[in-house]
Chains A and B, each alone.
Chain A
Amino acid sequence: MGDKSIDQKVDYYTDGSESGLSEEYWVDWFLRAKGNEYFCEVDEDFITDRFNLTGLSTEVSHLQYAAELITDALDLDSFQDPVRQEIDADAKHLYGLIHARYILTPRGLTKMMEKYKLAHFGKCPRVNCYFNPLLPVGLYDVAGQSSVKLYCTKCEDLYIPKSTRHANIDGAYFGTSFPAMILQAFPQLLPTKTNERHVPTIFGFKMHEHAKWARWQDKQRQEMNKRIQQYNKEQQNIQQLKAQPNNSTPSVQSQQSQTKSQSQQSQSRSPSAQPQVEAA
């Protein structure tokens, strides 16, 4: 299932200048390099914590040197050329692999959220998504399988980066769980979904086959909404039953249920939501 674009992993990395230019920090240099716009800055203490490198020694042959280069603790010029280049490439690969782990931590998620808000990962090309920002995602957590893809939080679909610079980055440097994780951590990032869609027309009339298909899809959506509505109603009942006995101990649990029942109250207050669906 791997795709073609990933073979150039090495090419992509060697096309920039060599790393380790004196006065600049390695990470700053890496993040500034063309094509690396999707990466965020991994904290140095995250890289120096051996625990976070667990299991990477099979992936990165000069693991120790690479980690030292990333944290500016290594003079690359003290190495001869084949090894020197290997360490250089290893450092870039290691940074990507650590990055995938880092962006699942609270600090990493926060940094990536800021980048998402600034649309550093691009915007959805779909017309009906109205330039909704994208999130990077891998199809595999193992390196060398497939290049990075972009997830749209509005249409929930997967897109190929516009620029080949980005289309050659390994998807494992972002991992398969990142979008789901950031949406769990920051649910406010979830955009409002729309029912808008395109149906091709000829002289103003919807094409018959397409109109049928669209109607069938609408039915799928209505069924989904019914299922969710039903589930929410059940949850609401459970919450109400739970709320009746004493709630004197303010634990995390009860706080959660409080905010939940609050949200359900305001939901039932909004006049349009419930009755219409029941009629459906």
Chain B
Amino acid sequence: MEDKLLEYNMTDPSSESEEVETWISHYCSSTGHDYFVEVFEDFIEDDFNLTGLMFLVPYYKEALEMILDLEPEDPLKVPSIPMFEHSAELLYGLIHARFLLTKTGLQIMAKKYDEAQFGTCPRYYCDGTRLLPTGRHDLPGYESVRLYCPCCCDVYVPPNSRYLNVDGAFFGTSFVGLFLKMFPEVERNCIPLRKNIYELKLFGFRINEMSYSGPRMKWLRQYPEDPSVLDEEDKLPPPRTDEKDDDGDVKLETDQENRA
């Protein structure tokens, strides 16, 4: 699994030979921000990429100036700097989520992915599959960043609390999907791992499905022996709305109450 996704020779054209640490490089190198990539300045300078963000970020103009290390038009009043700083972080995060969806953004993330900078899957049978950061919401303020495993296709809470302050929206919901489309080998490498499912055993014997403590979640990790059966799913009439289907949960719940 050590193969590299691509050859990298990307350099930010706007950040050549800079001595001074920019706001962006400082932000990305501070504690808990190591999932972030440095967004190219020319991406931020293109107004098109910022469409709509003005309405989400208070002190938008000041925040933008701060991110780009521009001298403010109106000299900043000292007490308001923390407020602007907060806005700048929010604005940067939202721009970051958009940048990740560009070809360059995806490539930089691929480099971090290759280096396992987002960690590896905690699930035993995923055998150290590298993770990708993801949000489950595209609007900020809902949930902190989560990690997606391309092998079990599940999402995990980062192992360290320092990521609790990183909003999931700064990575967004679409990044993982686009990443998997751009680098299909990531999922292809996972397929052999998907055949392993843990079964609880008592003195070497599997617990019978009919037992009340028998397996109920096998489906969650199940992958068909013959993947072509998945195409059958296409030909069938649209599925029943499973979100409302109670066959599993209600029964198990009543089981539960009776035993307790």
Of A157, A179, A193, A280, most buried by chain B (CB within 10 Å of CB) is: A157
Return the contact of A188 from the options B123, B223, B253, B260 (Cβ within 8 A).
B260
* Per-residue B-contact encoding for A168-206, CB less than 8 Å = 1, 0 else: 000000001101110110011010111101111111100
Mask: chain A, 38-71; 1 = CB below 8 Å from B; 0 = not: 0000000000000000000000000000000000
Q: Is A228 an interface residue (CB 8 A)?
A: yes
Please count how many residues in chain A sit with their CB below 8 Å of the partner chain's CB atoms: 66
User: Is B223 a contact partner of A213 (Cβ separation < 8 A)?
Assistant: yes
- CB-nearest residue of chain B relative to A279? B247
Nearest chain B CB to A257 CB, angstrom units: 14
Write out the residue numbers on chain A whose beta carbons fall within 8 Å of the beta carbon of B253. 192
Q: How far is the CA of A52 from the CA of B159 in the complex (A)?
A: 38
B156 contacts A224, C-beta separation under 8 Å? no
Residue of B124, B213, B223, B239 touching A218 (CB-CB under 8 A): B239
Q: A200-B180, A202-B174, A216-B224 are in contact. Are A156 and B248 (CB under 8 A)?
A: no
Q: Does B200 contact A (CB under 8 A)?
A: yes
Mark each residue of chain B from 116 to 138: 1 if its CB lies under 8 Å from any CB of chain A, else 0: 00000011110000000010100
The answer on a CB contact under 8 Å between B218 and A267 is: no
A246 at the interface (CB under 8 A from B): no
User: Is the Cβ of B146 less than 8 Å from the Cβ of A187?
Assistant: no
Q: Are B255 and A267 in contact (CB under 8 A)?
A: yes
- CB-based contact A158/B125 at 8 Å: yes
Residue in chain B with minimal CB distance to A130: B157
**Interface pair B247/A222, CB less than 8 Å apart:** yes
Nearest Cβ distance between residue A183 and chain B, in whole angstroms? 4
Give the interface SS of chain B, mostly helix, strand, loop or mixed: mixed
Closest to B227 in A: A213
Assess A187 versus B249: contact at CB under 8 Å? Given A156-B198, A156-B215, A197-B154.
no
- The reply to whether B219 and A200 contact each other, CB–CB distance below 8 Å, is no
> Chain B residues with Cβ under 8 A from A217's Cβ?
219-220, 222
Complex interface: stretch among B13-21, B46-54, B106-114, B204-212:
B204-212
Which of A81-89, A91-99, A113-121, A269-277 is the interface stretch? A269-277
Within 8 Å CB of A226, what residues of B?
Answer: 247
- Report whether A280 and B247 are in contact in the complex, using a CB–CB cutoff of 8 Å: yes
Q: Which of B181, B202, B243 is A177 in contact with, Cβ under 8 Å? A: B202
What number of B residues sit within 8 Å (CB to CB) of A? Answer: 67
Instruction: Please indicate the chain B residues that have their CB under 8 angstroms from the CB of A160 in the complex.
Output: 122-124
B245 at the interface (CB under 8 A from A): yes
Contacts of B6 in A (CB 8 A): none
A220 and B217 contact, Cβ closer than 8 Å, known pairs A159-B124, A266-B258, A276-B246:
no
Output the nearest chain B residue to A178 by Cβ-Cβ distance. B202
The interface residues of chain B lying within 8 Å CB-to-CB of A125 are 122, 156-157, 159
Which residues of A sit under 8 angstroms from B181, Cβ to Cβ? 202
Residue of A nearest to B132 (CB): A200
Contact B233 A224 (CB under 8 A): no
Chain A contacts for B221, CB-based, 8 A: 157
Given contacts A125-B122, A159-B124, A224-B218, contact A192 B249 (CB under 8 A): yes
Tell me whether A188 and B259 are in contact in the complex, defined as CB-CB below 8 angstroms, given that A157-B198, A200-B176, A228-B209 are known contacts. Answer: yes
Contact B213 A187 (CB under 8 A): yes
Q: Please name the 3 residue pairs, one residue from A and one from B, whose CB atoms are nearest each other, closest first.
A: A263-B258, A202-B177, A180-B202
Q: Write the residues of chain A forming the contact surface with B, with a CB cutoff of 8 angstroms.
A: 125-128, 131, 149, 151, 154-160, 162, 176-177, 179-181, 183-184, 187-188, 190, 192-195, 197-204, 207, 209-210, 212-213, 215-218, 220-222, 224-229, 231, 262-263, 266-267, 270, 272-273, 276-277, 280
| 21 A–B pairs (Cβ distance < 8 Å), ordered by A | A126-B156, A127-B146, A131-B157, A156-B216, A157-B123, A157-B124, A157-B221, A179-B200, A180-B207, A183-B200, A190-B259, A192-B253, A193-B216, A195-B245, A200-B134, A207-B177, A213-B223, A215-B239, A218-B219, A221-B219, A276-B247
